[in-house]
């Protein structure tokens, strides 16, 4: 009994030192196909460092300049801010467990009206 307890304790310690953690953020790095406000299509490219994300939103059609994003992941919640030359949009949403889809709402210019968004990879 004592030997089994010692082995279990050792296994838990090894797992904690090798990075086996349920606290690791979901991996969102890569390129996503995104639709904002049911109309505007973007290529959303995300780079990730732990729970911090950065990247760009590139409008698929139109002449709008590429815009940077920066935000965080907390569990299955993602939030990021898109900052253009004359606007700021704040996005919040949920990530599916398989990390292939995410979506939620965003606000523009500090307003209270929210608009839908979703992204897939």
Q: What is the pLDDT of residues 49-67, one digit of tens each?
A: 999 999 999 999 878 889 9
Ranges of the chain whose pLDDT falls below 70:
1-22
pLDDT at res. 20? 38
Instruction: Return the pLDDT at 15.
Output: 37
In CATH, the number for domain 22-120 is: 2.40.128.120
Q: Where are the domains of the chain?
A: 22-120
Cα angle at 52 between 46 and 54, to 5 degrees?
35
Q: Check: CB of residue 113 under 8 Å from CB of residue 106.
A: no
Predicted local distance difference test score (pLDDT) of residue 22 = 53
What radius of gyration do the chain's Cα atoms show? 19
Phi, psi of 9 (to 5 degrees): -60, -45
pLDDT on residue 24: 87
pLDDT (0 to 100) of residue 23: 73
Sign of CA dihedral 95, 73, 66, 31: negative
Cβ neighbours of residue 68 closer than 8 Å, sequence gap 6 or more: 54, 55, 56, 82, 83
Query: Is residue 71 a contact partner of residue 57, using CB atoms and an 8 Å limit?
Result: no
């Amino acid at each position: 009994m004592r030997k089994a307890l010692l082995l279990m304790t050792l296994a838990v310690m090894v797992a904690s030192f090798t990075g086996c953690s349920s606290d690791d953020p979901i991996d969102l790095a890569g390129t996503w196909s995104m639709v904002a406000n049911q109309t505007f299509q973007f290529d959303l490219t995300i780079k990730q460092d732990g729970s911090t994300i950065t990247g760009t939103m590139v409008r698929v059609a139109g002449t709008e300049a590429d815009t940077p994003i920066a935000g965080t992941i907390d569990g299955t919640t993602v939030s990021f801010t898109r900052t253009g030359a004359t606007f700021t949009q704040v996005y919040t949403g949920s990530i599916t467990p398989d990390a292939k889809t995410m979506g939620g709402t965003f606000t523009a210019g500090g307003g209270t009206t929210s608009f839908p968004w979703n992204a897939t990879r």
